[in-house]
Structure 1
Amino acid sequence: MLIAPNPSLARLTRRVTGFDHDGNPQDISVVEERPLTIFLNSREIVTAMTIGDYPGYLAIGFLRNQGMLRDEDEITQVVYDEELETVVVRTAVETSHEEKLKKKTRTSGCAVGTVFGDMMEGLEGLSLPAAELRTSWLYELSRQINQTPSLYLEAGAIHGTVLCKGATPLVYMEDVGRHNAVDKIAGWMLSEKAEAADKILYTTGRLTSEMVIKTALMGIPVLASRSGFTAWGVEIAREVGLTLIGRMRGKRFVCLAGEERLTWDADLSQIADEPRKMGRKGAQA
């Protein structure tokens, strides 16, 4: 991977001693979360709770996904002050974002996501590329991502988002909120001028309207997850032509939008299955 999680980075976790169900002492790693205030030029935009890695990518991606930073805007400087817990993104020309700040929508993001302005702005007339998606890629991506050392495996209580091309994971970001992890991906893509048309976005989180909107606005045609869907997320995915795949576990997955991109080429006899979860009444989910 170009960027992979670094669970050994000391500032991302803390050792905490507690007691288990038998009363025995337990020393475990817990994820750190800290505030990060994002500025666009001289204007304070938002304070996000984050694990604190890749603050520049998080700030750029957040501003880009909120429509406050356009692909054509020239970023002249990104300044992170660890002591003040701030990051300032400076552009060659002052941007117009006051109208965006007048209207806020709280989303379903785990760390209290906020969308400024009209959530659907930018989706009108959006056309995502007609990319191919092989089921063999999905199984290989799931295998690699699940085996990659991560903060999730080290400490839990965190979400991951992975930018992929074909069967290859490229950039793997984690954060306490899944929207933060997506914004880091967006920030990296904008900074590196990475193409979106041939990419897949994999997330460990729920496939909500917010996740679908961000993926579509980034120009990525495929969004996949081990988790489930919301009805509005599915509706928006169908409207914009995004391929939406969830409940990816073992041999199983469900595609609720954009199935025309799928090519069923995997040999399922070579794929290990996972046990189904038991529902509340003992039925298999």
Structure 2
Amino acid sequence: MESSAKWQVIHYKNNLTHEQEASVAAEYPLTIFMNQKELITIVCTPDHLEDLIIGFLISEGVVSTPSDIEKIEIIEATGHAYVTAKFINQFNTKHRTKRYITSCCGKSRENFYFQADATLVQPSPLGKLQIKPDSIFNLMEQFEKESCTFHETGGVHNAGLCDASQIICSRMDIGRHNALDKIYGQCLQEKLTVADKIIIFSGRISSEILVKTAKIGVSMILSRSAPTELAIKMAEELNLTTVGFIRDESMNIYTGSERIQL
């Protein structure tokens, strides 16, 4: 399915108007069924849906590992995904009625966000990850060049998985949580080693985004935008490196400066 569509708009500039074609981001409701029982509807960008489903189910604790999932059948025409699992974490699904996750920023996942999440994430070891400031700027430049749908529509968030020199994979979505879930799902399916990797992100680093980054297993997150105070405090507790406002050869290092070769 297409991640964007064309729409005729009236463009206004300098007191002049004319009709032109504009690109708009696609918005697609995907309803997930677990063992024939409706679980949730996620509003997303309709690409890499299997990555999204796997990343979401594991990051939210519905299943524990990819091996718990036996089959995923996606019917794109109707917006339905049928997941067959041999194990479902009943603690995270019982007593829950149908949930609907919008694509908005804010607390878009509040109804499906488990308060114990932060306590279940282990602090990141220092490891061998070391990166120079110039490498951070180069990664952000690569990231901007690869954000084609954002430049086309202005309506999506982007996330990428990197090492110290290059972007390994990138995903985009109208929902910033969804973009990270797609990255997580790909890492799980391809069994990528992530302890020495970096998440690069287009949006604000909220506490929820910070927790999701820690669940993926990386130790550093880079963004053009800013972190929140709670995200910074959690990053300190989890020993994560957070870098924001990366632009014009400048950046703010909020936590974990020991991983950056200043």
Do they superpose with TM above 0.5? yes
SS at match of 1:174: strand
2:60 matches 1:66: yes
In 2, the alpha carbon distance for the partners of 1:126 and 1:19 equals 51
RMSD (Å) for aligned C-alpha atoms: 2.4
For 1:130, the equivalent position in structure 2 comes to 126
Would the alpha carbon gap of residues 124 and 50 (structure 1) be closer, same or farther in structure 2, given more than 3 Å must change? closer
Residue 107 of structure 1 deviates from its aligned partner by 10
Q: Is the 8 A contact 2:51 2:181 kept in 1?
A: yes
Residue type of the alignment partner of 1:133: Q
Q: Is the 8 A contact 2:241 2:256 kept in 1?
A: yes
In 2, the alpha carbon distance for the partners of 1:237 and 1:107 equals 26
Aligned equivalent of 2:158, options 133, 157, 160: 160
Residue type of the alignment partner of 2:60: Q
Residue type of the alignment partner of 1:47: T
In 2, the alpha carbon distance for the partners of 1:105 and 1:84 equals 16
In 1, the alpha carbon distance for the partners of 2:26 and 2:103 equals 21
The range that moved more, 161-170 or 127-136, is: 127-136
More helix by share: 2
* Runs (5+) with no aligned partner, structure 2: none
For 2:4, the equivalent position in structure 1 comes to 13
What TM-score, normalized to structure 1?
0.82
The number of aligned residues is: 254
In 2, the alpha carbon distance for the partners of 1:108 and 1:232 equals 22
Q: Is the 8 A contact 1:64 1:70 kept in 2?
A: yes
Cα deviation code 1:130-162 (max 9, x no counterpart): 132312321121111112251001111110000
Residue type of the alignment partner of 2:177: H
2:112 matches 1:116: yes
Q: Is the 8 A contact 1:33 1:50 kept in 2?
A: yes
In 2, the alpha carbon distance for the partners of 1:86 and 1:171 equals 26
Would the alpha carbon gap of residues 115 and 242 (structure 1) be closer, same or farther in structure 2, given more than 3 Å must change? farther
Residue 98 of structure 1 deviates from its aligned partner by 4.7
2:44 matches 1:35: no
Aligned equivalent of 2:214, options 199, 202, 216: 216
Would the alpha carbon gap of residues 176 and 101 (structure 1) be closer, same or farther in structure 2, given more than 3 Å must change? farther
Q: Is the 8 A contact 1:209 1:232 kept in 2?
A: yes
What TM-score, normalized to structure 2?
0.88
Residue type of the alignment partner of 2:73: V
Q: Is the 8 A contact 1:199 1:220 kept in 2?
A: yes
* Runs (5+) with no aligned partner, structure 1: 1-9, 265-285
Cα deviation code 1:99-155 (max 9, x no counterpart): 445478989952833463533436357121313231232112111111225100111
Q: Percent identity?
A: 28
Q: Is the 8 A contact 2:43 2:102 kept in 1?
A: no
In 1, the alpha carbon distance for the partners of 2:113 and 2:45 equals 26
Residue type of the alignment partner of 2:257: E
Cα deviation code 1:12-53 (max 9, x no counterpart): 211111112222112111111110112233332211111100
